[in-house]
Structure 1
Amino acid sequence: MSTHYREVDLVIRGAKVVSPDQIIEASVAIAGEHIVAVGHDDTMPPARQEMRADGLYLLPGAIDSHVHFRDPGYPNKETWRTGSAAAACGGVTTVFEMPNTNPPTGTIEALNLKLKAAESSYCDFGIHGLLGDDTIDHLEDLLEAGVTSFKAFVGNTFGNLPSPTDGALLEGFEKLAPLGIRTVVHAENSSIMARRQKRLVEAGRMDVHAHLAARPSVCEIEAIGRVLTLAEWAGARVHIAHHSAADSLFVIRAAKLRGVDVTVETCPQYMLLSTDDFTRFGGIMRVNPPIREKRHNQPLWDALMDGTIDMIATDHAPHTDEEQTRADIFKCDCGFPGVETQMPLMLTEVNRGRASLMDYVKWSSVAPAKAWGIYGTKGVIAPGAHADIAIVDLNRSGVLSQGKLQSISKLNPWNGRAVQGYPLHTLLRGRFVMRDGKLVTDAVGWGKSVKGIQKMPTPQPRNTHLYSSAILETPAGTAPHALPAGYPLPAVETEAAS
């Protein structure tokens, strides 16, 4: 496919272009920020610059739905400049950043501070606003001011933001369902975890295994079930963050079969690491939800393959060395950097035959682009799309080194791990932000918000006559469950029919 251009900015020749459905030998022409042609080399328009990519693969730039760039509030851990530089060097062209900064992204003022910090970004970005008891009344204002989506911390994590009450969570879903906006949920049961951690501390447990003991998989099972029940009732879109356990997959599968609009991410740490690695890495392994026993690894791969889990994210969560290496596991800050290492880790598994390169593109780019309403402009190498491209060498081998990371935070359990498959070059909207494995420093600030291109599918709200907003307008003496005229009743299966 091509469009007639007298001259374009760049033609990439000799590579193989990857989509979820096929890998084809094709050249790609770029004019300005967009791809204008994908096809046979002979059909390419003349270009001011040409690049040979023989033997390499062109992937849509990865889209990471879950990063913490820590700014504003914690620039000693990470900044937008360093975090986005790590993304660019990891073949990631778009990130969605979390609201547990300081101040949390739950007010217009806090959002504006974050948008100001993001002016130094090397990658494009979306902003998850905070859904909590104190933010329910101005979710719409946050959306208008630039938030793309929301995050509800149903399970506690860094920043110790209070979990929303179930009443606030439902009301938030009621507000967002008619707008079609998706909410990310950290789904763990805070009450169970707090009680178990308290008892472990009282018993003198501070070892790395105690963190897992405080957060068993039942916390994830219960919280996911509760969140999906509320979302299904309201017709809201939800996204389950960092799915960690084989045991809770049945809840997701059942919800998807019922038609609940739920997307799910998992992370390399839950697929590739286990309690077998605890002794070696100690407190660096403390993440929320916890890394679990080895039996959980393969079921997560299987769930990606069958569509129960939709995508790969990283939960890039940088901290200082001292914060990750305290003797008491419960005093170690949770998380480690991951946005720069995700692609080589996953390409290594592709090389091992665990998944295809087409699978990886689906998980790393296509699925998140669709979940956040930016597919077509992002997530695909096709005419009209942004020229967001990771140029990958599947044959290049190496060893991951924390000393080479762009992130301020260095300590991570991938250090010293052998990998095969690297992004060599990263283009964001037609501009190199990483070239020959090195950050293009003068591309700082090239990244911008995806808010302007976001277009979510038509909303599918349910039970709107019972929303909080509806019952508050119900006249005195009127039953709150009275259905509006013509309201469609659900089909009820009778014994005779069954």
Structure 2
Amino acid sequence: MKTVDMVIRGGKVVSSQRIVQASVAIDEGLVVAVGGDELMPPAREEVNADGLYVLPGAIDSHVHFRDPGYPHKETWKSGSAAAACGGVTTVFDMPNTSPPTGTVEALQMKLKAAESSYVDFGIHALFGDDTVDHLEALLEAGATSFKAFVGNTFGNLPAPTDGCLLEGFEKLAPLGIRTTVHAENSSIMARRTSHLKDSGRTDPLAHLAARPAVAEIEAIGRVLTLAEWTGARVHIAHHSAADSLYVLRDAKRRGVDVTVETCPQYMLLNTGDMLRLGGVLRVNPPVREARHNQPLWDAMMEGVIDMIATDHAPHAPEEKTRPNIWECDCGFPGVETQMPLMLTEINRGRATIMDYVRWSAEAPAKAWGLWGVKGIVAPGAHADIAIVDMDRRGVLSENRLRSISRISPWHGRTVQGYPLHTIVRGRFVMRDGELVENAAGWGKSVKGVQRMPEPKVRHADTFVKAITDPEAAAREAAAAAEELQ
């Protein structure tokens, strides 16, 4: 029997469907066997997982590694190190860097920066009025997906016009490519922010007052209308409000191809924490009133919200602690703390560890065309694994974060459940709770293994490409004349 690279012995292997006491054999970066310990081949390295859980590594569909452009906030090396220490094996990075990832040249800069990554990655390129004419070129150059900032956030990138959104969806629908959307109404928020500033409000809750739930409801509804019309795939980022869940629920019932993420801050924190923490907790969309927390959990259990992400958005501590809320940058690090936070809630009985695997690994793998290669511990899949101790207790500390941005709303929070080891394509990037420093650069783009399902295009005869094609117009006229006869 061939000797393999590694066998993880005696752990509990978790999927969304079951927990199985099994060992896992890994060779050349892939899982080659999952089964009884006596069935495992000889290995050059053995890992004892007695009493531990073997999970597919988390896939975080929403991180801002700030590189290129903002090295004082984060770099690919520091951000991916934080991911590795958080049991995250794949990340998808957002385009509001400097320069924004909206040209082939800017994308190449980001891919170069990502060569230092500890974990695998996808790149969301920018979808806007200035980029809609070269979306295909961005895909060919290595983008895996797109991000449309329908609501404004760090970087102040202009929101795409509705005409641009429709035209972009017309281009991406036949390709099956999914677009992440920051869904808040920028016009509503701009006017309210202006009124709040004019009235002299600088308190933490002014940020929430500027971004009411109706801004999320309206933007989600608008985006889903255009996606449903074209058949485009969309992904709603950082869903925050209970009030807008009905829009998503109804769209999914109609068969709209929409996936949805929420983040720990929206499930576990509320305005009481905002009053306590001030600018540290300023984030877009805002953390809302306590009444929103439980409905988000319920929506996760129901499947209206598909997955957990973090919106890891680091800033320097001094950029988060100014007395005027409008002068505090929006966002905070989260990729390293998501897993212990969520496992703590699993230990409290709010969901099962199988639910967690569905939210953290399986659903994002399916959404981004990685299912079967990532998101599962099974023969043939990448050996992307988080080995977890559900009994380990600790206190989260911003001082121990791998992120450059060592300021966190989770500082001092007691947790139970930690990733002990993180393995990316068969190689340790965190071992015994410590970063494996020489694994920097091991991460690769997932572009080469991404396989989106067949698209389901709708109303293609109304697309800009069709109505500006003389031959298509002639065919349409002939068909209309034949119908009249």
Given the two structures, how large is their TM-score scaled by the length of structure 1? 0.95
CA distance in 2, matches of 1:461, 1:467: 11
Deviation at 1:473, TM superposition (A): 1.1
Which one of the candidate residues 467, 473, 482 is aligned to 2:469?
Answer: 473
Q: Who is 2:74 aligned against?
A: 78
What's the counterpart of residue 259 of structure 2?
263
- Give the one of 45, 62, 69 matched to 1:66: 62
Asked if 1:252 is matched to 2:236, the reply is no
Number of the residue aligned with 1:348? 344
Query: Which residue in 2 is equivalent to 1:40?
Result: 36
Identity of aligned residues (%): 73
Query: Secondary structure at 2:174's aligned position in 1?
Result: helix
Contact 2:259 2:306 in 1 (8 A): yes
Q: State how far apart, in whole Å, the 1-side matches of 2:270 and 2:46 are.
A: 45
For the residue of structure 1 that corresponds to 2:173, the secondary structure is helix
The CA distance in 2 between the partners of 1:336 and 1:110, in whole Å, is: 24
Query: Are 1:400 and 2:396 matched, yes or no?
Result: yes
- For the 8 Å contact 1:184–1:239, the answer to whether it is kept is yes
Mark the runs of 5 or more structure 1 residues left unpaired by the alignment. 488-498
Deviation per CA, 1:371-427: give whole Å up to 9, x if none.
000010100000010000000000000000000000000111100000000000000
Q: 1:182 aligns with which of 169, 178, 194?
A: 178
1:424-452 Cα distance to aligned partner (Å, 9 max, x none): 00000000000000000000000000000
Query: Which residue does 1:127 correspond to in 2?
Result: 123
Q: State the Cα distance separating 1:218 from its structure 2 match.
A: 0.0
Partner of 2:306: 310
SS of the equivalent of 1:84 reads: helix
The answer for the alignment partner of 1:329 in structure 2 is 325
Could you tell me which residue of structure 2 aligns to residue 105 of structure 1?
101
Matched, 1:390 2:383: no
Query: Number of residue pairs matched?
Result: 483
Residue 220 of structure 1 pairs with residue 216 of structure 2? yes
Task: Tell me how far 1:279 sits from its aligned partner.
Answer: 2.2
Pair 1:426-2:449 in alignment: no
- Write the deviation string for residues 456-494 of structure 1: whole angstroms up to 9, x where unpaired: 00011110010011111146986979869999xxxxxxx
How far apart are 1:241 and its partner, in Å? 0.2
What is the aligned partner in structure 2 of residue 55 from structure 1?
51
The 1:30/1:104 distance shift into structure 2, 3 A limit, reads same
Matched, 1:456 2:447: no
2:147 aligned partner? 151
Q: Name stretches of at least 5 consecutive residues in structure 2 with no aligned partner.
A: none
Distance (Å, rounded) in 2 between the aligned partners of 1:100 and 1:325: 22
The ranges of structure 1 where at least 4 consecutive aligned residues each deviate by more than 3 angstroms after the TM superposition are: 474-487
Determine whether 1:12 maps to 2:12: no
- Structure 1 residues 485, 388: closer, same or farther in 2, change over 3 A? farther
Q: In structure 2, what is the equivalent of residue 493 of structure 1?
A: none
Native 8 Å contact 1:89 1:426 kept in 2: yes
User: How far 1:66 sits from its partner (Å)?
Assistant: 0.1
> 1:201 is paired with a residue of what secondary structure?
helix
CA contact (8 A) 2:467 2:473 kept: no
Measure the CA separation in 1 of the matches of 2:185 and 2:428: 43
Distance 2:99 2:396 in 1: 34
Contact 2:31 2:380 in 1 (8 A): yes
Preserved contact between residue 93 and residue 124 of structure 2 (Cα < 8 Å): yes
Once residues 171 and 326 of structure 2 are traced to their aligned partners in structure 1, the CA distance between those partners, rounded to angstroms, is: 36
Going from structure 1 to structure 2, the CA distance change for 1:167 and 1:11 (only over 3 Å counts) comes to: same
Going from structure 1 to structure 2, the CA distance change for 1:450 and 1:93 (only over 3 Å counts) comes to same
Aligned to 1:373: 369
Task: Tell me, in whole angstroms, the C-alpha distance in 2 between the residues paired with 1:363 and 1:477.
Answer: 46
Q: Which whole-Å CA distance do the structure 2 matches of 1:58 and 1:481 have between them?
A: 60
User: What is the distance in 1 between the residues matched to 2:193 and 2:384?
Assistant: 44
Is the Cα contact below 8 Å between 2:274 and 2:287 reproduced in 1? no
Q: Give the drift of 1:49.
A: 1.1
Q: Deviations over 1:211-233 (max 9, x none)?
A: 00000000000000000000100
